[in-house]
Amino acid sequence: MGNPRAFDLSWLRAQRAAAAQPPLRPRVPLWSGASLIGSVEPDFLHQIDLQPLPDGRKQLLKEERDGLPGWHLLGDVTAGLNRVAAALHAADLAGAWRGEQLAVNDQQGVRLGTVERAAVRPLGIATQAVHLVGQTVDGRFWVQQRALDKPNDPGLWDTLMGGMVSAEDTLATALVRETWEEAGLHLDQLQSMVRGGHVDIRRPCDDGRGAGYVVEHIDWYHCTVPDGQVPVNQDGEVERFVLMDAGEMLDRMHANEFTSEAALIQAALLDLRSGSSSAQ
């Protein structure tokens, strides 16, 4: 499949810039032991009320390391972060409560614990997501319109599937689970499944009353959806699925009708298929 027209390079530069924004305001580290696990605005955690640990120590301590101020989470990472998440929720400083645990890793990618998804952006905790781009045999793209009541990007267009890698998942199991939940498709129904690449997102967000910061690594895959296979949402998070040819999809991307993550992923694939390098 060829790219039907050139990318609007000013649009592409804007998409890249939107995915690599610094925080709106300075942030300080959030540590657990010697490990960096996130970041927060300096006084953000003063707004929540945490009961002391059983031994009387505070759960969170403000301290300096090598002259750098930050916050230190004491005790078990999972228990501590989920207590913080509950306190953020009670103070209306968390994102939408999901009842879903996400992995919390150190800078080397070693898992230290888990935390409620609603707290990751206020706490600047890095997350992992997976997307799937699906094309028909004749080259059209299956895309979803996100449900109108989604907490993030309601009503915007997205890839065939996009979802978070939960604490219970590996990347492979998240690809299987999310493809079924969002599109009602099993991987063995799909053809030519390949990993396409990755997109990294760093940008401010509204969670925490504007104190949130997204740090996300997205792995994306591409597949062919055979004739006769039609995506059907299973979890209520998709308004509808439609087929778009590359030209219509590119027009809607240029009009900012796609999520920024989906736009970058689809742009990368269109670019690869055209043999150019504008989206690299």
Residue where a domain terminates, one of 97, 119, 141: 119
Q: Each residue of 154-201: pLDDT tens digit?
A: 999 999 999 999 999 999 999 999 999 999 999 999 999 999 999 999
Both 231 and 200 in a single domain? yes
Residue 1, in any domain of the structure? no
| 2 burial type by CB count under 10 A (0-12 exposed, 13-18 middle, 19+ buried) | exposed
Domain CATH for 135: 3.90.79.10
Range of the domain at 100: 28-119
| Number of structural domains the chain divides into | 2
Residue type, 91: A
pTM of this structure? 0.92
Both 110 and 168 in a single domain? no
DSSP tag of 112: E
pLDDT value, residue 56: 84
User: Which among 111, 241, 137, 238 has a CA at the least distance from the CA of 178?
Assistant: 238
Residue where a domain terminates, one of 56, 88, 119: 119
Q: Each residue of 95-148: pLDDT tens digit?
A: 999 999 999 999 999 999 999 999 999 999 999 999 999 999 999 999 999 999
Both 104 and 131 in a single domain? no
